[in-house]
Structure formats: C-alpha cells, structure tokens
Structure 1
C-alpha cells in the first residue's frame, strides 16, 4: 500500500508528531510512505494530479521516529502521479499557514479534492474539511454538547456576552490552533476586554465562549476512528491534558501535561451525539476536546496525542488505525 501524508513543510515535521508515528507504523507494516508539502502539488491539462513527494520505503535503518524524520529530510523529491497512491492523508495545520502562506491550506484542499475525484482515498474528506476550516464547524452539532458561543468582530457583542455569562468567558480566534491567542476574561481582567477583542480581531473573527468550571482540571482529547471510539482491551485512545498553574490552555505547546484518561458513560454519550454526523462528513480520524459534558473543539485536520495515549495505556492505537486503512483499501480494490 502507498500512503501519502500531506504536511505543512517537511523541515517543520518533528519526531514526536502523531503524523510521524502513523508514518513509521505504516513502514513497519511494509507500506511505502510519501511526504507531500502544501507547496508540492502538480496539475497538468491531461487531468493528472501529482506531487513532488519524498518517498520512503521500509528499511532496516529506520527503527525510530527520529530515524524516519532524518531519512525523510534527506530524501530528494520526485514527481508522483497521485493516481498511483492508495491513501492521501491530510495531516497539515491550516492555521499555521494563515500569516506567511495564506494560499497554502486552501490550495492543498483543492488538489486533494481533485485526487479524490480520481478515485484516491483521501483522509479526511477534503470537501468537508473546507467547511470545517475553522471552529464554526462545531456549531453543526447537537446544541446540548456545545458551550454557549458567539462569533463576532464587534466589541459590543462581546461585552454583552460577557455580562450575560457571569463576567467570565473565553476569547479565542475563530481560526487558530495550539492554544494561540486564547484568553480568559473575568471580573479582574475586564478592563482589558476591549484591548483583547481588538487584538484578536486584527486577524479575523473572534469566538467568545462561556467558561466551564470543569476546565480548571484540564480537558480530554478523545479519538474517533470512522465514528467509533478507538478501544483495545477496555482502554480508549484518549488522554487528559492538564494545564500548568495559572494557565487556562490545555495545549501541550502551552506547557500542558498528559495523563491517563478515565472514560465514563457521560463521555461516551457525548461522543455518540457527534459520531453519525462525522461519519456522514467523511471525517475518518478525529480528535474531540471535551470538558465535562461539552465538546470545546472538533479537531479534524491533524489531531495529535495518539502516541501519548498509547504510552499511557500500554495499547497500540496507531496499529489499529493502519490496520483499518488496510482493510478499507483491500475492500476498495475488490
């Protein structure tokens, strides 16, 4: 099987990324791996969608994630016809491209759509990813699992929302990732509300959300594969992310630590309320960020922390995913 991963840029990939673990596991199972940057696609009038890709085959010298990243970076690009690829896996962070390469993410999705039209199995569905390119995607799901939210660029709207929600809200960019520009505004910091709104609004729309008290204990990153929880021996692919003291963000990039997650019936009920729509949208691998009984974000581009979930539980969730793809490709080729 030939699996191509679409990433932002090769030199920005790291050994600890979930994408790296997925690629290494595919190699270990005998598959060929290709890395395609968002600037590497190719199209010609003969309706051929291709890419200048870095191709890596299984080799005894590649034993670890660090080995793999080193080999990928040292491999020269070659032009590949995407019709020859079995899986095109979109694993880039669209928010990372907003400032320096605002064209990159949209172009990547367009090329992925063309590849999908030619019969390539694309993860996740690029048409749905276009609709899910910012946090408004969550508003398509059951109201009971969503925190109270408004989206605006107007300070008066935010002030009104602040007053209605006990003067304690979260502000963040509509399009963003990694916990960047996320702020807690309460009575003590209310004097900074206007300044904060103006700062976030410089780059686009703002999301204002109610503050959930359970967030003080961190959040839960919970993975779904084709609409189903990834489970082995009663252990779920999930981690609890706990923020450092005096920090509201549970993102690892902001200093949060990973802990084993306890999954109860309430969590599974919340997950079940979004599963059918995710399958309908073609969202094959998804990471849900859950606080209490609310989903704060639905991560559909490049959700991370799968390898940490495996380490904390002692279960190989990465293999479950690669094996499932193998079955899907086998069925498609029948």
Structure 2
C-alpha cells in the first residue's frame, strides 16, 4: 500500500504522537509511507495533486525518535498524490485556528479531491468537515449525549443554564481544554467574561454538566464503528484531572488510568457505531463521562501511546491492516 499521512507541519511532529506510531507501524509492515504537511501540496497544470513529501522508512533498531528524526532530515521529494492508495488525514484544525487559519481546512479540501480520484481517504473528508465541530455530536440520539445548546447569543446561554443548572461552556471548535468553563448556575459572577472568552473562538456550545467528571473521562477508540480489542485489552483508558481542574486532557496535566469496558460503554458504542461507520469515520476517539458522550474526536485522535503504556499493547498494526483492507477493496 502506498500511504501518506497528512499533518499540520512535519517539522513540529513529535515522536510520541499517534501519527508517528501509525507511520512506523505502516513502514514496519513494508508499506510505502510518506509525510505531507498542509503547506506542501501543489495543484499543477497537469491537473494532478503533487506534494513536497518526505519518505518514512524504518531501519532495524529504530525507536520512534530515530524514525521521526530521519524523516525530518530527509530532503523533500516530488510525490504524485493521485497515485496514492490511501491518505490518512492526521492534521488538527483546532491547532491552526490562531496562527495559521488558512491551513486548518486543507486536509478535508485536498482529501475530497483525492477521494474523487479514487484514493481511499480516512477519515472521510466530507464527514470530517462536520465532525471537527462539536455540533456533530448532536446528530446522535439524546440517550448518549447531554442536553446542549449551540449559539452566539449570550442571553440564550444564560437561559439555558437557568433551565438545566450546572453546565459546561466551550467553543464548538477547539481542543486540549482551551476555553472550557464549568458554570454552577446563571448567577455565576464571571459568566459574562466566560461567554466573551468562548465567543472569541466562534460559536459556543453549552452542555448540561454530567456527574462523574471528578473521576475523569474515558477515551474509547473505535475502528469502523467497533471497539478495538487486542489480546483481550480494549483500546480505552481513563483520564483523571489534576487537582481541582475539571479538564482531564493529558495536555492539562490529566493522568492516565486503565479503563474497564462495561455494559454502558458497550451500549454507547452499539448506539453510535453504525452511524460512525456509515459516515466513513474510520478511526475515532469518543470521550465519555458518566453515561454520556461529551465529544467525538475525529480529526487526528490522540492517546494511542496511553494504550501501549497501560496495557503493553500496540493497536497500530491492526489500524494499518484495516486501512490496507479498505484500500484494496
């Protein structure tokens, strides 16, 4: 399989990122692997999509660090992206919103062009253009998600909080815990400032607070809408917040703990899985608190390293093999 990973910038990729692990697994599996950054693509007069790409090759004894360092050191080569068997979109729009807003949507734009030319693109770029927004969660049954409101009307947010009580207010685009606030009630002293801060990133989503957050949230990985199970271990873990910070994101100091998949988690997957698969969301992470899903992570879901650390299990070969089967069909 001729496979390219589309990332924000090759220079800022990190050895412990999920993309590095996936790329190394693909290279170990004897696939032809490339890295392409958001600023590396060309559309020339021949009507081909080209890229100044870097080859990802693995040698015996490679660590994640040496594998990625050698990719960064290589001179870029001309890659005809139309000739790819598969393109794995691993760029994060949220990280580009502030400094490079032009770069954020390019994965889905180029992905749609290549999909039309017969390249297998994951996650599906048409759905991904919706799924990068927290609004996508609203397409799923009420039974698996909290009550919520999406708006840019401060008064509507106040009315929502007055109706449902304790709530979480955050941008519909974004990640890593940026501008996420827990509001006790509509009389919150700093509510105006909170809403103003969230509106700086566009639309806000106010969600009914779900009990159980003090124990952290569960990150559960799904492949083609199904739980990933390797050697008896599920690809899932719990993120426990640091101190009194309600955000359990690893980037905010959250700690990882093993997660036992129970009946409720399986019910959530059974409810959401068919639609995720039908929408072409090949590899996603869902974040669960209590008995509700708070977020769907479809663009470059991370945390694969946590599975390896907690369970000594590598799920990357299974993901790459599933992608190979999809591309070959």
Aligned to 2:32: 32
Give runs of aligned pairs for residues 184-203 of structure 1, distance below 5 A.
184-186=182-184, 190-203=188-201
Aligned to 2:280: 282
Give runs of aligned pairs for residues 243-282 of structure 1, distance below 5 A.
243-282=241-280
* Stretch moving more, 274-283 or 154-163: 154-163
Task: Kindly state the Cα deviation for residue 2 of structure 1 after the two structures are TM-superposed.
Answer: 1.9
Give runs of aligned pairs for residues 1-334 of structure 1, distance below 5 A.
1-60=1-60, 63-166=62-165, 168-186=166-184, 190-329=188-327, 331-332=328-329
Aligned length: 329
The Cα RMSD (Å) is 1.5
Task: Kindly state the Cα deviation for residue 67 of structure 1 after the two structures are TM-superposed.
Answer: 0.8
Instruction: Give the alignment's TM-score, normalised by structure 2.
Output: 0.96
Task: Kindly state the Cα deviation for residue 189 of structure 1 after the two structures are TM-superposed.
Answer: 7.9
SS of 1:176 mapped into structure 2: coil
Residue deviations 1:185-223 (CA, integer Å, cap 9, x gap):
125981000111011112211111111111111001001
SS of 1:322 mapped into structure 2: helix
SS of 1:42 mapped into structure 2: strand
For residues 138 and 164 of structure 2, the distance between their equivalents in structure 1, rounded to whole angstroms, comes to 19
Task: Kindly state the Cα deviation for residue 146 of structure 1 after the two structures are TM-superposed.
Answer: 1.0
SS of 1:160 mapped into structure 2: helix
Question: Relative to structure 1, is the Cα distance of residues 106 and 188 closer, same or farther in structure 2, using a 3 angstrom cutoff?
Answer: closer
For residues 6 and 96 of structure 2, the distance between their equivalents in structure 1, rounded to whole angstroms, comes to 14
Question: Relative to structure 1, is the Cα distance of residues 187 and 164 closer, same or farther in structure 2, using a 3 angstrom cutoff?
Answer: closer
For residues 107 and 305 of structure 1, the distance between their equivalents in structure 2, rounded to whole angstroms, comes to 23
- Structure 1: 5+ residue stretches without partners: none
Task: Kindly state the Cα deviation for residue 139 of structure 1 after the two structures are TM-superposed.
Answer: 0.6
Question: Relative to structure 1, is the Cα distance of residues 227 and 109 closer, same or farther in structure 2, using a 3 angstrom cutoff?
Answer: same
* Stretch moving more, 222-231 or 183-192: 183-192
For residues 265 and 19 of structure 1, the distance between their equivalents in structure 2, rounded to whole angstroms, comes to 31
Residue deviations 1:1-33 (CA, integer Å, cap 9, x gap):
222101001121111111111111111112222
* Stretch moving more, 218-227 or 93-102: 93-102
SS of 1:93 mapped into structure 2: coil
Residue deviations 1:280-311 (CA, integer Å, cap 9, x gap):
11100010001121110011111111121132
Tell me if structure 2 keeps the 8 A contact 1:223–1:285: yes
For residues 51 and 72 of structure 2, the distance between their equivalents in structure 1, rounded to whole angstroms, comes to 16
Residue deviations 1:243-272 (CA, integer Å, cap 9, x gap):
111100011000001111111011000111
Would you identify which runs of 4 or more consecutive aligned residues in structure 1 move more than 6 Å? Answer: none
SS of 1:158 mapped into structure 2: helix
For residues 251 and 91 of structure 1, the distance between their equivalents in structure 2, rounded to whole angstroms, comes to 19
Tell me if structure 2 keeps the 8 A contact 1:31–1:58: no
For residues 9 and 189 of structure 1, the distance between their equivalents in structure 2, rounded to whole angstroms, comes to 43
For residues 185 and 82 of structure 2, the distance between their equivalents in structure 1, rounded to whole angstroms, comes to 57
Tell me if structure 2 keeps the 8 A contact 1:220–1:291: yes
Tell me if structure 2 keeps the 8 A contact 1:95–1:175: yes
SS of 2:212 mapped into structure 1: helix
For residues 95 and 45 of structure 2, the distance between their equivalents in structure 1, rounded to whole angstroms, comes to 31
